A = this chain, B = another copy of it.
């Protein structure tokens, strides 16, 4: 059962018009899965919170979507079917290796008196591999990418995907790597038009309200039989583990993966109610270009098997 706060959120922030399409895609994707293939929902990127109804300004959460995109890739390689709920224009699995200015992929080649721009020889193999893998995952129905932009879209999509995944019960894994805003401006408090600055205005006061704790409803009623893994990102290491524990107590799910902004690429902690296990990349791992998501996903897959 959802609480009053959640029900109010869904009333005040109505479903995006794209929701039916998302639901159809997810149901079709689930239908296509072999019965012995597990499905993971990987969320990725930050949610955008508008400050005005006719949006000019917004609050955003820092997240390039590296962790989510890399993890989705390793889940695919582990044989999972992956529903990848990602921030539009953010990183995507397999092709994430090419983010940055795409113009760098090309170089000018002269043929006789004419010239044309071609894929750089040095990138050809990586490009071929990336696009091949992506195509292969599509052919095997192992990857469904769903873009979102705003907090409202994210929450509606999350609930819908969870409801669709109910039918596969404990074969579903939720890997919630997206940076979801804790606060927003409820639509009834939101300015219709661009907030004016104007001469003499010496401050702008924004009152933001907490976003309902949807993780609670995910655990209790949207996906009661699934394994649910959330992330906790902090900048202050003194509070990191406590915050992760508090989340476990509050939402009653199985695992929090905790990390600090500054060291998130090489250290994470797996936090349960009665244990903290740190995972650090070794110097050798770092030299060899090993990604921490490779280890994180392995451990999550083991945990899912054991659950």
Q: What residues of chain A have their CB less than 8 Å away from a CB belonging to chain B?
A: 51-52, 54-62, 92, 95, 98, 101-103, 105-106, 108, 116-119, 124, 127-128, 131-132, 134-135, 179, 181-183, 192-194, 197, 199, 201-210, 233-236, 246, 250, 261-262
Q: Which B residues are in CB contact (< 8 Å) with A194?
A: 233-236, 261
CB < 8 Å neighbour of A207 from B52, B132, B205, B235: B205
| Residue contact A233 to B56, C-beta cutoff 8 Å | yes
Given contacts A57-B62, A108-B135, A199-B250, are A118 and B117 in contact (CB under 8 A)? no
Question: How far does the alpha carbon of A92 sit from the alpha carbon of B104 in the complex, in Å?
Answer: 13
Q: Which of A56, A92, A261 has the most CB of B within 10 A?
A: A56
Question: How far does the alpha carbon of A210 sit from the alpha carbon of B196 in the complex, in Å?
Answer: 11
Question: How far does the alpha carbon of A204 sit from the alpha carbon of B202 in the complex, in Å?
Answer: 19
Q: Which B residues are in CB contact (< 8 Å) with A55?
A: 62
| Residue contact B201 to A210, C-beta cutoff 8 Å | yes
Q: Which B residues are in CB contact (< 8 Å) with A193?
A: 234-236
Q: Which B residues are in CB contact (< 8 Å) with A52?
A: 235
| Residue contact B51 to A57, C-beta cutoff 8 Å | no
CB < 8 Å neighbour of A61 from B57, B116, B131, B197: B57
Q: Which residue of B lies closest to A103 (CB)?
A: B95
Question: How far does the alpha carbon of A116 sit from the alpha carbon of B121 in the complex, in Å?
Answer: 12
